Every structure is written in structure tokens, then in C-alpha cells.
Amino acid sequence: MKASIHLRILIWIPVLAFMASAQNLDEARQALDPERQKEIWDSEHVTFKIEKRFGKWFLDGLRKQDAGVLAAAFHKEFSGKVIPAETSFEKFIKSNVEEVRRTAGEKPANAEDVAAALLDQLRLLDKIEALNLRVLRIATAGEGQWETRLLLTASGRSAEAKLVALESEHVVNFRTKSNSNFNAGAVISSWKVLSETKRSAPQMLMEEVTEASQLHRLPLADNWKMPKEEISQRYSFQFAVEDFDRDGYLDIAIASVRGPTALLKSLGGQRFAVANKAFGLPMMATKAERALACWLDFDNDGFPDLILGDRIYRNIKGKRFLEITTESGLKFSRAPMGCSIADYDGDGLCDLYVLYQGTTAGEEPLPWVGDDISGAPNVLWKNLGGGRFKNVSVESKASAGKRNSFAATWLYADDDALPDLYVANDFGTNNLLRNKGNGSFEEIAKQNDVADFATSMGVASGDLDNDGSPEIYVANMYSKMGRRIIAQVSEDDYEPGVHKQIKGACAGNRLYKRGPRGGPYTEKSESWGINDIGWAYAPAIADLNNDGLLDLHATTGFLSFDRSKPDG
């Protein structure tokens, strides 16, 4: 039942998104022919059997290095192709990570050869910690016959104790009785190895120090400890990092939607302590839904000031905080999703851009995929000096419409030295607001090919290739299941424009690289290997290993209930 529901969601949601004129829900659902829906359901049912049933015993044979188990999976009338041993490798080395890759499986092979090739790759691991099989594509090739593209992944340690991750892609044809459960026996009629990749490193780039830093005892909502029926799908808190007292160590500010706020002072870079009382900050925000956390030096005194919950505080030389909410003029009319800071008008004062998403209770219309009208306008607050701000969203044309904004990043999208703004929106299309230099902005996302698709849940920008121009990295949803389904439909199955949206809605993260002289941008995520993150949120760009090259940290997940089984 669950698989059927998920399938229909994947098929129907993008259809509804582009059929806003369809007043009747049933009319929208008919965009995909029922027979086509059944064909796709059948292929997904087989996919489940391949991954969960065939995959279970086949992977067990790989893990145990049991050639007999693997041989039992191949039909007598079998054909295969493997990558010849003499095929040259492509090698890439960045910092302490080495990647070795080879492609083109063109050497004819029997079942024993294919089994040997699979086992040989796994022998690069002295200890297998994870081993998985996933179906990337599937298509019927006749009664009881299926052509698939499989992804095999494994990770663990080498004999030299190096961290190793293996990845290989294969075209595999299955031939079974139509009602086969794939539990055992000969099911494979052909196997072609397409690529083999090995990544290795002598050690982890980073290690978790949550407990050592005393961050595991914070009074925050924790999915891993709460009963499932009490877990909300809404966001629980926001945080921001700065060295507020200029002692050389970064501190953390946290604002909770349904809980306390916290100023976490770093104690010598070793651990953190809650310091609200010592610095004059309350433990609770005055309005439960105003969980905004932001550092900004609005008075240019060298000490970052703080927005926490629904209040703004002046930093008094790193010794205490003074609330100035009323005199500042700042107001947060609903729950902010976050904010972004820049001096957009070049007056030497940092300004504040606050993001909003969705309607409040009782408001219409409710948000839905593909619309640009169901959200709330964002707000640009101009810094007037003296701790005072003015809402200039209307005159600056910076509100980004009424969309469901998730995140924003300031960047130089052209060469005029004025900060421009990219806004990532859930449901609707994204914005690129060009700073015109006269206090106003113009929307240029579509003409620069960065409007993206309807699942954006984060954005970061930075010059990843050191060519002098920043790239835009957008967090979107990536779904293997969705891509399998989309591979079986075409533009002919939908109204004009729908198929493109469906295809993009599960394409994964996007990386936009600026064209010569300011645009348009080109999309590079797949060629750079950074699109298939999962249910992606909140990417970050930073030089994590001090090699002079910016790195990407791409987070993923929705609701995680078990620390050992992360979602995403």
C-alpha cells in the first residue's frame, strides 16, 4: 500500500503543479494515462523485489566472497562484459582524497568472469562496513524480462587502514517468471560493467565532538529521544555562529520555535556553556513562532550584535547585550525561515533580508508545488544607523513575490560590485534579484537559467573553481525512485511544460556557473558529481582543509528517528 501511495504522489504532484487552471482534481490526475500508471507501478514492484529480495541474498554472497552464491544467480544462457584489466585508470587527487575511476566494459565475459570482477573490487576492502544495491533505471524488455541499471556501493577500511568507498554501475538484464519473487535461483541473463570508482583517504576530514563539546545536553527538541507521535515536521530551531566577545573562539546563538533560546559561549574552543544570564539574554523568546538567530554588526563597533527570537540586542563590547527591539523598528510578523546580511546600498551599514514561507493558519491559498503565489513576501530592512531599521521591500522590489522562501545568499552575479541576491524557494521557482544600484532590484532568474525547480531548500554561493566568479549551489530533492519513473515517461504523456518540471523536481542539487561577462549561467551539478545528495537542505561552502579551494558541505534528511539510521 505504501509503495502505491508513494508512486501516485510522484506521478501526480508535478502534474497538479502545472495544471493550476484545472479546477477539478480528477481532471488533473488524468494527465497521465491509467495504463501508463500501471506499467510504471509494475516496474516499481519489480524494483522492490530486485533491491529487497534479490539484493539481500546476492549482497550476502558478495560480502562472504561466495562465488557459488553469485553463480547461482546467472542463467545458463548468459552473456556478460567486464572492464578489461589493462584498461587505464583516471586518477584525481584533492588534498588527502584520491579517486580512481575506469569505464567501458567491453571485454566479453561468462558468469564466472563477472562474479570474479565483482569480488575483485570488493577485495580492495579489508573490512566491509556497508554494502548496498540500488536500481537506478528499469524498463520492461518483454514478458518477465527487465533491463536495469544498477548501482553497487561499498565502504570500509583497506588493509592499510585507509578509508575506502567503492562505487560501480552496471547494466543488468533479469529474466524470470512474471510472478517471481527473486528470492533465489537464476534470474540474470546478462551483465555489463559500466564503471568502477574507488575513493580513498588516510583519515576522516572531520570528527564528531558533540559530547566532548557539551552540546549533547541542550534543552532542544531531539527526534532521537522523543516519542514519534510528538515529533513535528516543522522546524525546531535556528542557529548562528560568531565570536561575539572577540576572544578568538566562535560562539553559538540558538533560537527555538517551541523552547528556549541559548547563547553558547565557547570556553577556549574546547566546550560550550549556556551563558544567557551572564550576558543579559532571556531564556525564552516572547512569541513562540519567532525562532530567528542572526549575528550582524549593525553599528560598526567591531562587536557583532544579535537577533534572537523576535528581539534585537546591541552588543556592549562583548560584555553584555542590551535589547533595543522597540526603538529599532524591526518587526517579524510571522515565523521567519532565516535571514541574510549584506550592505546592499553601499552606505557602509549592513542591511537585513528576512525570509518567510507559507501562509498562517486560516489563510488561503495553501502552498502547493509549482506556484509562486501561496507564500509570503520577504522583507528587506534597510539599516538607517543608530540601531534603527526601515522596511524598504516595496520600493526596492526585493520581496521576491509571494513565494515560500527557504534561504538566500548574497553574491556578485555580474561585474558591477553591487551585491545581488539569490533566493531559494520551496514549491515555486527561485529568484535572482539584480541590484540596480539605485536602491532597487530586478528579477533576472529565468533569463539567466537559474530559476530552478520546485523543491529548493537551501542555497550557498562561492568561487569553487577560483576563476573570479561565484557559483550558485542550490539544495533540491534527489530521488532514485523519481528518476526511475521519469525515465519511463516523456513530454507526450503530459500537458506542455509538465514533463520538464517533473524531471527537474527530483534532479537533485544544482550548481550554476556564471557565463562570460555576467551570464547566462550553465548547470554543472552532474558533471561535477554533486547532484545526488538526497532530500537536501542547507548547503555550505567553506575551505574545510585550508588548501585554498572552497569545499561543499551538503546536508540531507527529513525526519530522523534513530541516530544509527539517518534519514535522507
Condensed to tens digits (0 to 9), the pLDDT of residues 238-279 reads: 999 999 999 999 999 999 887 789 999 999 999 999 999 999
Query: What is the C-alpha to C-alpha distance for residues 541 and 550, in angstroms, rounded to an integer?
Result: 6
Average pLDDT of the segment spanning 202-219: 88
Query: What is the C-alpha to C-alpha distance for residues 49 and 45, in angstroms, rounded to an integer?
Result: 7
Greater model confidence, 543 or 26: 543
Q: How would residue 113 be classed by pLDDT, with cut points 50, 70 and 90?
A: very high
Nearby residues of 414 by Cβ (< 8 Å), 6 or more positions away: 420, 434, 518, 519
Average pLDDT of the segment spanning 44-70: 93
Greater model confidence, 491 or 453: 491
Instruction: Classify domain 6-24+43-201 at the CATH topology level.
Output: Nuclear Transport Factor 2; Chain: A, (3.10.450)
pLDDT at position 16 over 50: no
pLDDT at position 167 over 70: yes
Nearest to 256 by CA among 280, 305, 222, 289: 289
Backbone phi, psi, residue 55, to 5°:
-60, -35
Q: What is the length of the chain? A: 568
Per-residue model confidence (pLDDT) at position 105: 65
Which grid cell is 419?
Answer: 551585491
Q: Is the peptide bond before 367 cis (omega within 30 degrees of 0)?
A: no
Per-residue model confidence (pLDDT) at position 31: 57
Query: What is the C-alpha to C-alpha distance for residues 431 and 422, in angstroms, rounded to an integer?
Result: 6
Which amino acid is located at 205 in the chain?
L
Average pLDDT of the segment spanning 543-548: 89
The distance of Cα 434 from the centroid of its chain, to the nearest Å, equals 25
Lowest-pLDDT choice from 25-29, 380-384, 478-482: 25-29
Per-residue burial over 24-59, b if 16 or more Cβ lie within 10 Å, else e, is eeeebbebbeeeebeebbebbebbebbbebbbebbb
Per-residue model confidence (pLDDT) at position 28: 43
The distance of Cα 311 from the centroid of its chain, to the nearest Å, equals 30
Which amino acid is located at 128 in the chain?
I
What confidence tens digit (pLDDT) does each residue in 378-394 have?
999 999 999 999 999 99
Per-residue model confidence (pLDDT) at position 22: 36
Query: What is the percent of the chain where pLDDT is above 70?
Result: 90
Q: Tell me the pairing of strands 145-157 and 127-140.
A: antiparallel
Look at phi and psi of residue 496 and say left if phi exceeds 0, alpha if psi is from -120 to 50, else beta.
beta
Per-residue model confidence (pLDDT) at position 20: 37
Cite the beta strand spans of 363-456 per DSSP E. 379-385, 388-391, 404-411, 420-426, 431-435, 441-443
What are 160-163's contacts with CB under 8 Å, separation 24+?
A: 162/200, 162/201, 162/202, 163/200, 163/201, 163/202, 163/203, 163/204
Nearest to 249 by CA among 276, 271, 264, 269: 269
Q: Tell me the pairing of strands 188-201 and 74-82.
A: parallel
Greater model confidence, 281 or 24: 281
Lowest-pLDDT choice from 186-190, 211-215, 354-358: 354-358
> Mean pLDDT in the chain?
86
Greater model confidence, 284 or 389: 389
Per-residue model confidence (pLDDT) at position 36: 79
Lowest-pLDDT choice from 239-248, 293-302, 394-403, 555-564: 555-564
Domain range annotation of the chain: 6-24+43-201, 237-324, 329-461+472-542
